[in-house]
Amino acid sequence: MMTRQGRVSVIVLGGLTVVAIAGAAVAVLVQQQERTQRLAAERQLTLVKADNEQLQRQIGDVRAANLALETELSHTKSQAEEIAQQLTQERQAKELLAKSVDERQHEIDRVGKDVEQLRSERKGLLDQIAQLNAQQETWKGQLAELEKSKTDLETKVLELSGQPTVELDKVVVNSGEAAAKPILPSTSNREGQVIVVNREYDFIVMNLGKNHGLEIGQQFQVVRGTEVLGWVKVEKIYDELAAAAILPQSKKDQIREGDVVKAL
């Protein structure tokens, strides 16, 4: 039979064995936990490193993007400045264009007024032309009458030129204005009288002619008493008569039949 002491020893040994086994189990469990924790930490570290690398890449991407943005912003600023300058130039060009348009409009208005004035003047000129045409027709009629009167007068002068000088005081010549006064015989110093005054054509007929030695172009002085009335120039010569044009410096309206003509 086992003694009591032996039993106690067995129990103690059993307890120690149990304790050892429990300690070993605990140790194994702790090691497993530590391994698990270590593996978890390593995985966590790997993840953190991966996250860190990814973050570094993102930071690099962000920096690159930031640099690109800064470059683009600088380029955009340059473009904005160019656009602002272009806008300023366009604004100035528009202002100049508006000013030019205003000036052109003023010019157009002025030209329009000038055109209206020219139209009005043209209408007035057309009216004047119409009046002048009407006057011309009237003058043509008057000229025809004057030509007829001149022809009749020249015919009368020709008739007078074929008669002796001493009989001229008995002849009355119708000049269209006044009757001829008695004709005095011409003198040896070529003095005579005005027998006809034609104011339409500014000429006179005097009682001196080819038989008195007159020549074409010869000039005479017209006098009344001591007053000099003017000068005449011989244009046509007949035997006893001559037609002379009244020169411009003469007192044409004052010359009349009976005035004396003196050769110059």
CATH number at residue 228: 2.40.10.410
- What are the DSSP calls for 154-184, one per residue? HHHHHHHHTS-GGGGGG---B-SS-BPPPPP
Q: Are residues 121 and 25 in the same domain?
A: yes
Give CA–CA dist 173/258, Å, rounded: 13
Contact present, 264 and 241 (Cβ < 8 Å): no
Residue at 155 is within a domain: no
Residue at 156 is within a domain: no
Sign of CA dihedral 136, 138, 140, 143: negative
Q: Which of 65-69, 145-149, 213-217 has the highest mean pLDDT?
A: 213-217
pTM for the model stands at 0.36
pLDDT above 70 (res 58) = yes
Q: Give the pLDDT confidence of 192-211 residue by residue, as tens digits.
A: 999 999 988 999 999 999 99
Provide the b/e sequence for 203-219 (b: ≥16 CB within 10 Å).
bbbbbbbeebebeeebe
Q: Are residues 168 and 101 in the same domain?
A: no
Residue at 64 is within a domain: yes
259 backbone dihedrals φ, ψ, rounded to 5°: -65, 150
Residue at 44 is within a domain: yes
Q: Are residues 31 and 103 in the same domain?
A: yes
Asked which of 111, 130, 149 is the last residue of a domain, the reply is 130
Q: Give the pLDDT confidence of 210-246 residue by residue, as tens digits.
A: 999 999 999 999 999 999 999 999 999 999 999 999 9
- What are the DSSP calls for 47-74, one per residue? HHHHHHHHHHHHHHHHHHHHHHHHHHHH
161 backbone dihedrals φ, ψ, rounded to 5°: -65, -20
Q: Which residue segment(s) compose the domain that 88 sits in?
A: 21-130
Give CA–CA dist 139/148, Å, rounded: 14
Q: What domain count does the chain have?
A: 2
Q: Give the pLDDT confidence of 22-38 residue by residue, as tens digits.
A: 778 788 888 888 888 88
Q: Which residue carries 């017209």 as its tokens?
A: 222
Contact present, 225 and 234 (Cβ < 8 Å): no
